[in-house]
Structure 1
């Protein structure tokens, strides 16, 4: 009887959790927000330009790099935007890498990184995409607002909280705070990451520094990263590498944009606690008087308590005698500041509800989602139209420049041919001129022969000739 009741309760709780999970997945961004049909219309626009198939254009652009050549930014953009298949992912990544290593890297179009993100998301190439984010210098993949929302929505739906938080921290480094939809999704990703167990609080690791092989004609050139001495200055922003610091600062900065005040305060409180800077946390607690979510305060207390009393090492008994203090031990004033923060946390006013920070942010996201989606969809449709028009104009201009250069080469060849024919036709009339040219050529040849002969002489032979010439030119002085 008792076991039946327990199984019923467990099944009820499991069904409840599953329903909550499904509801949270459904309450993210709507399917129409992806603008799948609008994005697919680019293929028709490219066919109108007569660019051929996507494979043909990628192969044509790759040929331009063979032999040390370069492709223009519009060539790479057209190739990447037209790519749509899984086997083109590596080609796309290789093309943008090569473009970033040419003087034309600054000319990269905004549609290029957007197309890369859409292609990688379509085929679920998460590791390759995050590797591009980890290496912005070599790839230059920076998402715009619409692409950023697609990224976080994709990872949150897939329950890949680490990847979503990674994207949110990347957006924090770029300071993308103008779009409310981006702010709420980024704050939601960071809050979910902060609520994970400690063993799961990590971000996707940067890609390993592997050798990149590029083929130029018959020779193989290996491009690889060279270790160098870094600047000892730490800017506290782009130099952040620790996952807790990245997510913590992201939660603070995105939390400042949230409404109402208790939600913003809770996000900043949890963010500074996750970040682990006791001075900033202490300053925030001293200056803040707004209410916070009860769950956020409880989580912050547990994190601060873990700073004061770190967990015992595995295998050691809980009541083991602590080791004697050493000169290298952490100073006690820092522990005192953490203890002060814990005391201040006890005085923070809290709300009556037990909802988590991520649940509260998700609720606010659902309230503003429809209006914000419509604004961003309208903006992105305008960008699609602008990108298509710019791509068309740049391709036409590039084609005209190519024809112009070919025509100039043809004119130069025709002028040379006419000059040669004129020299033949008027050879006898210009006989004196050609003889003068011949005499000058003979003098040049004589000088070359003398130089070659002197080069073959030894130092002693050259000195004898030199002094003999000076003796002949010197006249004896007449004495009186």
Structure 2
């Protein structure tokens, strides 16, 4: 169709206008949700104008930080932040991971700056290393990188545009771990990510850090003590079905409409919390607000009921209860036949259009505040370093003066030195070997026998 419109019969000007409109249409389709302005790239790049970052030699800084970790066991969190903000190309990914891990194990782990997490996320994000970044974000104990609302939203939007719905759902799960859905853009992008993951599920395992295949060899590991088995039903979750289910259930509870009720019900079913699923259905029936739930969601929830056959003796009772409630939903006309995907997409677009400018303005202010904080911390660190250098210089001068005083007044203090040397001598007690035996009496008349050589 576009070939016919842009054919030779049209003048060049018209072809150019139509071509530009086509590019504009393509960019709108590519945008999907967040615009390029949401990246706040100009405000973020402004940090590189600081002379400290411009004069950093990454190789020298890495060697210095690595030496501090080896010799002292710790390094300044502000120096790690400078390294994370100064890296640009992909030749320092391993070095950055190593420094983050060492900082996490040091006493200065609590001093990590919020700009460090942003720098790490945006560094791997700019290189397109999403799998490596997701591994760092999921391994919070070893790296200590916690994305905030803004970074989560930016990551999910990018992964959605890359059709990497599994990765986007993983970022949404990270937000579920924080139990914070107050940021509307991030929460609705998490909803869309999980929604698309259910439509296009992919492998959840970390491709860069998968376990080696079992070759049948028994491996014994020495441990100090065995922990009692404990499952917190939150951070210990590993099954993607349970993770996405809990994310949808907790997220759906914050959206008071048909989409929220639908995914709240689907989430409790995937999470296998049947008592909460019953309460959700009873609330929907009691409210009788039309439309209350989407038919596609009811069908997804019905699929999760297959897990009930593996859960004990009361499974038949639960199935009957759910069957009765679902029939009541249908009889009351609370089930909508509208397209769930279209409703979710329009919901996310509406929230993004209303909240995007406010979020951009707020994030630019945060970047400016971080620069002020960083300048203050650098000044304090410089003052502390200058103070330590002065104290070390004073100590060296004091030691030098003491040595000169000893030389100049040696003869005046000779008697004192001799007494000091005498005091330093260590006197050991004589060892006791028991009573001495009396020497044998000698016989003056004793004549030794005459020794003669014997012949063989």
Q: TM over 0.5, yes or no? A: yes
1:41 aligns with 2:46: yes
Q: Which residue does the alignment assign to 1:204?
A: 205
Alignment equivalent of 1:354, drawn from 338, 344, 366: 338
Displacement of 1:277 in angstroms is 2.5
Show structure 1 runs of 5+ residues with no match. Answer: 1-19, 212-223, 310-328, 455-461, 469-480
Show structure 2 runs of 5+ residues with no match. Answer: 1-24, 213-220, 438-456
Q: Which residue does the alignment assign to 2:354?
A: 371
Tell me how far apart the structure 2 counterparts of residues 337 and 25 of structure 1 sit (CA, whole Å).
Answer: 45
Alignment equivalent of 2:99, drawn from 95, 100, 111: 95
Tell me how far apart the structure 1 counterparts of residues 109 and 63 of structure 2 sit (CA, whole Å).
Answer: 20
Displacement of 1:210 in angstroms is 8.7
Alignment equivalent of 1:390, drawn from 373, 378, 386: 373
Q: Which residue does the alignment assign to 1:436?
A: 419
Displacement of 1:239 in angstroms is 1.9
The alignment's C-alpha RMSD in Å is 2.9
Displacement of 1:235 in angstroms is 2.2
Tell me how far apart the structure 1 counterparts of residues 276 and 114 of structure 2 sit (CA, whole Å).
Answer: 37
Residue by residue, what CA displacement relative to the aligned partner does 1:64-95 show, whole Å, maximum 9, x if unpaired?
33445431101101100111111111111111
Alignment equivalent of 1:74, drawn from 50, 75, 78: 78
2:32/2:161 contact within 8 Å kept: no
Q: Secondary structure at the match of 1:464?
A: coil
Q: Which residue does the alignment assign to 1:337?
A: 318
Tell me how far apart the structure 2 counterparts of residues 395 and 225 of structure 1 sit (CA, whole Å).
Answer: 44
1:162/1:204 contact within 8 Å kept: no
Q: Which residue does the alignment assign to 1:246?
A: 243
Residue by residue, what CA displacement relative to the aligned partner does 1:302-352 show, whole Å, maximum 9, x if unpaired?
332x4367xxxxxxxxxxxxxxxxxxx863421331342133223224454
1:135 aligns with 2:139: yes
In the superposition, relative to structure 1, how do residues 21 and 269 fare at CA in structure 2: closer, same or farther (>3 Å)? Answer: farther
Q: Secondary structure at the match of 1:232?
A: coil
1:188/1:362 contact within 8 Å kept: yes
Q: Which residue does the alignment assign to 2:229?
A: 232
Tell me how far apart the structure 1 counterparts of residues 69 and 303 of structure 2 sit (CA, whole Å).
Answer: 56
1:120 aligns with 2:124: yes
Tell me how far apart the structure 2 counterparts of residues 339 and 87 of structure 1 sit (CA, whole Å).
Answer: 60
Q: Which residue does the alignment assign to 1:425?
A: 408
1:278/1:338 contact within 8 Å kept: no
2:131/2:206 contact within 8 Å kept: no
Displacement of 1:394 in angstroms is 1.4
Q: Which residue does the alignment assign to 2:267?
A: 271
In the superposition, relative to structure 1, how do residues 49 and 154 fare at CA in structure 2: closer, same or farther (>3 Å)? Answer: closer
- Bigger drift between 48-57 and 424-433 goes to 48-57
1:187 aligns with 2:170: no
| TM-score, structure 1 normalization | 0.75
In the superposition, relative to structure 1, how do residues 330 and 48 fare at CA in structure 2: closer, same or farther (>3 Å)? Answer: closer
Aligned residues: 397
Displacement of 1:114 in angstroms is 1.1
Q: Which residue does the alignment assign to 1:146?
A: 150
2:48/2:54 contact within 8 Å kept: no
Tell me how far apart the structure 2 counterparts of residues 192 and 249 of structure 1 sit (CA, whole Å).
Answer: 16
Q: Which residue does the alignment assign to 1:314?
A: none
2:81/2:113 contact within 8 Å kept: yes
Displacement of 1:230 in angstroms is 4.3
Residue by residue, what CA displacement relative to the aligned partner does 1:352-396 show, whole Å, maximum 9, x if unpaired?
44312x432221121121331122212211221121122222122
Residue by residue, what CA displacement relative to the aligned partner does 1:208-231 show, whole Å, maximum 9, x if unpaired?
4899xxxxxxxxxxxx99797444
Alignment equivalent of 2:35, drawn from 7, 30, 42: 30
In the superposition, relative to structure 1, how do residues 425 and 166 fare at CA in structure 2: closer, same or farther (>3 Å)? Answer: same
1:272/1:280 contact within 8 Å kept: yes
Tell me how far apart the structure 1 counterparts of residues 26 and 272 of structure 2 sit (CA, whole Å).
Answer: 30
**Structure of greater Rg:** 2
| TM-score, structure 2 normalization | 0.79
Displacement of 1:23 in angstroms is 6.8
Displacement of 1:169 in angstroms is 0.8
2:188/2:348 contact within 8 Å kept: yes
Tell me how far apart the structure 2 counterparts of residues 50 and 308 of structure 1 sit (CA, whole Å).
Answer: 61
Tell me how far apart the structure 2 counterparts of residues 370 and 55 of structure 1 sit (CA, whole Å).
Answer: 44
In the superposition, relative to structure 1, how do residues 66 and 374 fare at CA in structure 2: closer, same or farther (>3 Å)? Answer: same
Tell me how far apart the structure 2 counterparts of residues 131 and 230 of structure 1 sit (CA, whole Å).
Answer: 26
Displacement of 1:434 in angstroms is 1.8
Q: Secondary structure at the match of 1:28?
A: coil
Tell me how far apart the structure 1 counterparts of residues 26 and 322 of structure 2 sit (CA, whole Å).
Answer: 34
Q: Secondary structure at the match of 2:254?
A: coil
1:145/1:179 contact within 8 Å kept: yes
Q: Which residue does the alignment assign to 1:302?
A: 303
